[in-house]
Amino acid sequence: MRTIFSILALGALALVAFADTNVTGKWTGSFKIAGPESETGTAFLMLKQSGSDISGTVGPDEGEQHTITKGKIEGDKITLLVEDEDHTIKFDLVVAGDRITGDANISREGQTKQAKIEVTRAK
């Protein structure tokens, strides 16, 4: 009986902890491409979380958005994949409260670039 109660209590705590990490909403900030051709710009993410799945769009602003083809959140780790006709972007991100930071790997025409991204939840 005590074991069953412990398992139920741990399950309830896990659900509460999971509910605390919800990235649904608008996120704005910036990105910086590393390397000799360093480039900075704005970043805009529109995310929708359903359980551990994330869908939505990403881009430089609300007017230019690209659909997330695959997105997951596990704990505080977020992975997103955007596949368009001429490029692929893979995001490896970490969420902490109202802030998401991490890396983006951009592949286009046989070349790969890395970028740092930092966004905060839009109010």
Average pLDDT per block of 10 residues along the chain, 123 residues long: 43 44 96 86 97 96 96 97 93 97 94 95 91
| Whether 8 contacts 89, CB under 8 Å | no
Write the CATH number for 31.
Answer: 2.40.128.120
SS3 37: coil
The pLDDT assigned to 34 comes to 87
Helix, strand, coil percent content, the chain, rounded in steps of 5: 15, 65, 20
Q: Residue 33 pairs with which residues in a beta bridge?
A: 39, 115
d(CA 74, CA 53): 9
Residue 17 located in a structural domain: no
Please check whether residue 112 lies inside any domain of the structure. yes
| Overall domain count for the chain | 1
Q: Which tokens in the block code for residue 33? A: 């491409």
Is 6 domain-assigned? no
**pLDDT reported for residue 14:** 43
